[in-house]
Amino acid sequence: MTDAHCHYSAGDGTLRELIVGREFVGVHPWMADGVGESDLEAMRSRLVRERGLGVGEIGLDRLRTRVVSEKMRWVFERQLQMAVEMNRPMVLHGAKCWGQVVSAVKAARRPDYTAPMLFHGFSRSEGLLDEIFALGGYVSVGPAILNDHAVNYRTMVARLPLDRLLIETDRDSEELGVTIQEVAAGVAKVRGMSLSELECVTDANAATFCRDIVSH
């Protein structure tokens, strides 16, 4: 069963992104304040050296602040430009900012950008989904599916196109949090599917996502 989005220890006190089994590098919006031009240039150099790297987790966030700072937006847009220029897959974060994130991706995307995108933990209303799928994006469903009070979220998950659905834990490798099996069981229940049916679908989607990564 594929965990579409989690983090793992790099052995040096830092955490790295692991998206459907592939490594991504990027500055999370919570870390944007401490990032300068030299950090972004170092990231660009690593992307040039390591052609298999994706860009992420990048985006905007209003969970910790009431407004998106100019610094957060600048860091996101610079990384977004790198991903588009190098045709690299992305994992996108947009807590309470999904409309702004989708708009930024649409503005930055070029006709020759064909890499896959994962809109990780998407939890906005269904209104943005058509725009996300038009961009070739996938949506990953996380532990929020287990919250019986998240009625709108569960309704959205029930209606997601099966060929764009992934599941995730969003946990660190050493955390004792919700397992991918628990998330999958929650999604299967909401979708009216068996767990084995859901596993086949999401594993196939993850394999397609990975094939698209390899081709770039």
**83-87, 92-96, 113-117, 169-173 — which is least confidently predicted?**
169-173
Q: What pLDDT score does 15 carry? A: 45
Q: What pLDDT score does 14 carry? A: 44
Percentage above 70 pLDDT, the chain: 89
- Are the beta carbons of 118 and 4 closer than 8 angstroms? yes
Higher pLDDT, 82 or 1: 82
Q: Is the peptide bond before 57 cis (omega within 30 degrees of 0)?
A: yes
Domains of the chain, by residue range, sit at 14-214
Query: Residue 201 contacts by C-beta under 8 Å, 6 or more apart in sequence?
Result: 162, 163, 165, 193
Percentage above 90 pLDDT, the chain: 65
What's the average model confidence in pLDDT over 102-121? 93
Q: What pLDDT score does 9 carry? A: 55
**80-89, 122-131, 136-145 — which is least confidently predicted?**
122-131
Q: Give the tokens for residue 121.
A: 């933990």
Using alpha carbons, list the distances in angstroms from residue 16 to 150, 200, 209.
Answer: 29, 27, 19
- Model confidence band, residue 56 (pLDDT cutoffs 50, 70, 90): confident
What's the average model confidence in pLDDT over 27-38? 91
Strands 22-25 and 15-19: antiparallel
Strand order in the sheet with 15-19: 5-9, 15-19, 22-25, 54-59, 90-93, 117-120, 137-141, 165-167
Q: What pLDDT score does 123 carry? A: 82
The pTM score is 0.89
14-214: CATH, from 3.40.50.300, 1.20.20.10, 2.40.50.140, 3.20.20.140: 3.20.20.140
Q: Which residue is it, tokens 């599917």?
A: 193
